[in-house]
Amino acid sequence: MAEWLYEDGIGETRAALIADARIIAARIVRDDAGARLGAVHSAQLTEPGVVRLSDGTVATIARTPPGLTLGARLNVVVVREALPEPGRVKPPRVAATDEAPRPAPSLRETLDGPVRVLRAHEADALEAAGWSELLDEAVSGDIAFPGGMLRLTPTPAMTLFDVDGGGALDALADRAAAAVTAAIVRHDIGGSIGVDFPTIQGKEARQRVAAVIDATLPQPFERTAMNGFGFLQIVRPRPRASLPELLRADPVGAAARAALREIERTPPGAPNRYRLPPAVAARIDARPDWLAELVRRTGRTPILDG
């Protein structure tokens, strides 16, 4: 039976849904995530379609209550978190609500099904299931599947998958379709998704690839038919950034949080000096709250060489 592995890390919480000893879905929530999905904020309408939340965050709002004038206050619920894009961050999106202000549910509260909370002194169940490999996929974009390789590339317009491999093209496309849907779920990818399959001949073969997607990708989603050049588009809800977007937007921060996880898991009595890339050590040094929490959890102050 599938279960969620949940870890309350330093700088982020993380969770992975495990089935058959492998990760089939994953989520990361960082301590600097900003306006999070489901939170209700007091806000002020500053210009048409734009509000400023009580914490200073600027968000877009699609529809405002009738008669609301600039400067008026209202409560809003976050329906999409901020999305990192090259050179900018797309602001969060909110909707007007009659609900009272409240924080967003924690990552653990959003997990559906059995949850096992992991501790740093225990065997690393996340790593055993392939946590490092998952992060490597997100950062590099290289995702292997039997007989082929996917190349994942986030862009401002859509997330693109390019399919490469050998053998019969029809069979390669069928295997790639299953690999794409698994990667979409594993990396929490939403929004517009384009898949460049090999060009295959015949309507029946193209329909078979589409049927694989329909059978393996959880609803809700919409898709196009595969065109004669092998391109197919999928559209899913996009309430937050995918793992590739999250990790690529701040690679130094991702490396710093990973280093903190490794340090926290260092057995007692092991050397307390850690050699890190200078930028990573500087990021950790710049967060005294991270260091204080690390000392609280481990009972020792690490020496970071950068």
pLDDT digits (tens, 9 = 90+) for 153-195: 999 999 999 999 988 999 999 999 999 999 999 999 999 999 9
pLDDT digits over 75-84, tens only? 999 999 999 9
Q: Measured between alpha carbons, how far is 113 from 67 in angstroms, rounded to an integer?
A: 43
What mean pLDDT value characterizes the chain?
95
pTM, to two decimals: 0.93
The pLDDT value given to residue 220: 97
Q: What is the rounded CA–CA span in Å between residue 151 and residue 176?
A: 11
Nearest to 40 by CA among 73, 81, 78: 78
Give the pLDDT confidence score for residue 150 in this predicted structure.
98
Output the pLDDT for position 306.
67
| Whether pLDDT at 13 is above 80 | yes
pLDDT at 67: 86
pLDDT for position 110? 97
> Buried b vs exposed e over 187-226: b needs ≥16 C-beta within 10 Å?
bbbbbebbbbbbebeeeeebebbeebbeeebeeebebeeb
